[in-house]
Structure 1
Amino acid sequence: MKKTVIFFYIDYPINEKTHKAHFLLDGQKLSLTSIWNDQQLVRFETTVVGRRKEKIPMIVIKRPKEDQYVKVQRREFVRVMSKLDLAVHPFVKDFNPFTSFTHNISAGGLSFENSSDTLFKIDDKIKIWLVLPFSKELQYLHVKATVKRIENKQINVQFINISEKDQQTLLQYCYFTQVQLRIKGLKYE
């Protein structure tokens, strides 16, 4: 009986510091992490077996056997580095609203620069107005959040009672941003 070898096709990996594509050699061993349909993060070992050129260049890797996947605990949502304008308003605690910018964002929360004199504490509730730039349009979101971590002037918050529609918009923005970074990385290499 002939064995069928199944392959995965992946995008060229992008160096997070340089945002440029990293080229892989045939036979090179890799340790990869992937998100599956059920949002489960898995890690596995594989080998580069070739390249394929479609609309974008792809790497061909050997698919491991089912027992070679290792499930990994992770954040609930993908987080991307992104500098977006936002406005912060009081929810319960009284302070003067102010504008600032994000450091990173996900469908579950974000971190922003505290550009005011407001002293935040863990579990403080705030309202955030946010502008998400997509390729041809802007999306405006108004979300409630709770402060989860404070590091100097950087405030990390988790969204609370966020609508499914707003969460989907945030997910789309994060994936859109990742794709744009990959395109830039491939373009300049």
Structure 2
Amino acid sequence: MSALYPKINEVLYIQLDTGDQKEAEVLYKSRISDMDGESIYMEVPLQEGTGRLKKLYIGDEISAYFLTEGGVKNYFNSYVLSHHEDVIKLVRIKKPESDQITKVQRRGFLRVQSELEVAVTAKDGARFLTKTEDVGGGGISLYLEPGQSLKEGDLLDCWILVPYKNGSVEHIPFEGEVVRLKELPVGRSIVMMKFTQILDMERQKLIRYCFERQFDLRNR
């Protein structure tokens, strides 16, 4: 194992990247309980100062750091893969590649601005096609046209059309929950959703698209 990785029992300092500015500034602490080739298993994080437990959802994007000699902060981004019952409750997060651990904090690495086609089916059977405003490994934001209505907490079955640089196109299905709605001046709204059910394989496809897209945006 690379010397760069944190060790078992070390403390992870975590911030959540939910698109909510206030939440993003809250710092949580957790302890690493176990690690394997794919995953880091950590205890349920506690909020610094209050000691309150923070419930994490599958797909939540996090920015984490651990300390090495001399108090150097080593940052990496990850997301929640699953929950794990051991002697205590554990949260399994994606283990970063060793070259993704840096001395510089990179926030929101998985959210990219992108207008992709998305088909939405609400639980009451209402269906519509729309475009995304941004996409990420933990959720998407989409446009809601006048006359279409959704509310916080609604669960939606969706699929999203994802084109890659090599010309291939994927239909990625998922279930998402409406987290927040933001009114736009022109009668449209933006709906922010987090994934509640998505296969890890499908999430990886979406993350691959985000990295491709981010690379394009950076090299314009």
AA partner of residue 147 (structure 1): V
AA partner of residue 182 (structure 1): R
Q: In the alignment, is the contact (CA less than 8 A) between 1:82 and 1:103 conserved in 2?
A: yes
* Distance (whole Å) between structure 2 residues aligned to residue 73 and residue 150 of structure 1: 26
Instruction: Give percent identity, aligned residues only.
Output: 21
* Distance (whole Å) between structure 1 residues aligned to residue 77 and residue 202 of structure 2: 25
* Distance (whole Å) between structure 2 residues aligned to residue 154 and residue 147 of structure 1: 10
- The 5-angstrom pairing of residues 75-90 of structure 1 reads 78-90=110-122
Of 178, 183, 187, which residue of structure 2 is paired with 1:147? 178
- The 5-angstrom pairing of residues 1-189 of structure 1 reads 40-42=63-65, 66-69=70-73, 78-90=110-122, 92-95=123-126, 97-115=127-145, 117-136=147-166, 137-152=168-183, 153-184=189-220
The structural deviation recorded for 1:94 is 3.5
SS at match of 1:170: helix
Poorly superposed stretches of 4+, deviation over 2 Å:
37-43, 70-77
The Cα offsets for residues 87-135 of structure 1, whole Å up to 9 and x where unpaired, read as: 1112x2342x111111111111000000252321111011112111111
1:135–1:150 CA distance, 2 compared to 1 (3 A)? same
Whose relative contact order is higher, 1 or 2, with alpha carbons under 8 Å and at least 6 apart? 1
What is aligned with 1:15?
A: none
What is aligned with 2:5?
A: none
* Distance (whole Å) between structure 1 residues aligned to residue 140 and residue 149 of structure 2: 18
The structural deviation recorded for 1:40 is 4.7
- Unaligned runs of 5+ residues in structure 1 are 1-36, 44-63, 185-189
User: TM-score with structure 2 length normalisation?
Assistant: 0.50
The Cα offsets for residues 19-70 of structure 1, whole Å up to 9 and x where unpaired, read as: xxxxxxxxxxxxxxxxxx9775449xxxxxxxxxxxxxxxxxxxx9651317
Question: Number of residue pairs matched?
Answer: 127
The structural deviation recorded for 1:151 is 0.7
The structural deviation recorded for 1:167 is 0.8
Aligned CA-pair RMSD: 3.0
* Distance (whole Å) between structure 1 residues aligned to residue 193 and residue 173 of structure 2: 14
SS at match of 2:215: helix
User: TM-score with structure 1 length normalisation?
Assistant: 0.58
